[in-house]
């Protein structure tokens, strides 16, 4: 590896998508293109907030309130 500060594996990314993989397996996957898009967007937001140490419900309520006032 040429950059010592860069992880040599993709373990962090694999662990980040694991909840989505488990949920997809339990639910039987998406049954439509729209459902798949909605799921991937929601999981992206959830994981981003998790990585930023933000509470999902607190952040979600804040965003919904902002949206309703716009």
Q: State yes or no: pLDDT of 30 exceeds 80.
A: no
> Which residue in 38, 57, 45 sits closest to 16, CA to CA?
45
Domain residue limits, the chain: 11-68
pLDDT in tens, 49-63: 988 999 999 999 999
pTM of the full predicted structure? 0.62
**Tokens found for residue 28:** 């039987």
Question: What's the pLDDT score for residue 1?
Answer: 61
The conformation of residue 2, written as its DSSP 8-state character, comes to: -
- State how far the alpha carbon of 48 is from the alpha carbons of 2, 12, 15, 43, 63, in Å: 28, 13, 13, 8, 14
């Amino acid at each position: 590896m040429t950059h010592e500060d860069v992880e040599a594996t993709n373990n962090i990314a694999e662990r980040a998508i694991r909840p989505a993989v488990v949920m997809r397996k339990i639910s039987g996957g998406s049954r439509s293109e729209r459902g798949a898009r909605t799921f991937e967007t929601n999981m992206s937001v959830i994981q981003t907030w998790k990585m930023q140490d933000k509470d999902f419900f607190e952040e979600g309520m804040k965003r919904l309130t902002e949206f309703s006032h716009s």
